Amino acid sequence: MATFILDTLAYSETLKAGGFSEQQAATQARALAEILDRQMATKAEVAEHENNLQHAIEVLRLELKRDLAETNTRIAETKADLTRWVIGVGFLQTTIIIGVLLKVAKLV
C-alpha cells in the first residue's frame, strides 16, 4: 500500500486541545495513521488498474467493431434477399396481369 504521511503529533495535539487525554489522542492518531496506510493505493496500483481498464475498453471496442461488421453483413444479405423477392413478385404480378388481359381479350 501507499505510504501516507500524517503528522500524528499535530493531530494528537489538536485532539488534546479539544479535550482528549494524551493517551486517547495518541491512540486515535496511531489508529488513523494505520487506517490511512492500509486504505491508500500506490501510484503503481492506480496505474495497474488504469491499464486494466484501458485493456478492457479496447477489448470491448474490438468486440463492438466485430459485432457491427457482422450486423452490416446481415443487413446487406437481407437487403439482397428482399430485392430478389420484390423483383420476383413483380415479375409474377406482371405475368398474371398479362395472362388475365390475354384471357379477357380472347373472350371479347
Domain that holds residue 21: 1-40
pLDDT > 70: percent of the chain: 96
Whether residue 25 contacts residue 12, with contact meaning beta carbons closer than 8 Å, is answered with yes
The pLDDT value recorded for residue 97 is 96
- Is there a domain that residue 5 lies in? yes
Output the CA torsion sign for 2, 3, 6, 12. Answer: positive
Q: How many domains does the chain have?
A: 1
Name the one residue in this structure whose C-alpha cell is 446481415: 74
- Is there a domain that residue 66 lies in? no
- Is there a domain that residue 98 lies in? no
Q: Is the pLDDT of residue 61 over 70?
A: yes
Name the one residue in this structure whose C-alpha cell is 434477399: 81
Q: Which residues have a Cβ under 8 Å from the Cβ of 42 and sit 6 or more positions away?
A: 1, 2
- Is there a domain that residue 108 lies in? no
Q: pLDDT tens for residues 62-106?
A: 999 999 999 999 999 999 999 999 999 999 999 999 999 999 998
Rg over alpha carbons for the chain, rounded to the nearest Å, is: 39
Cα dihedral: 41, 42, 46, 47 (round 10): -170
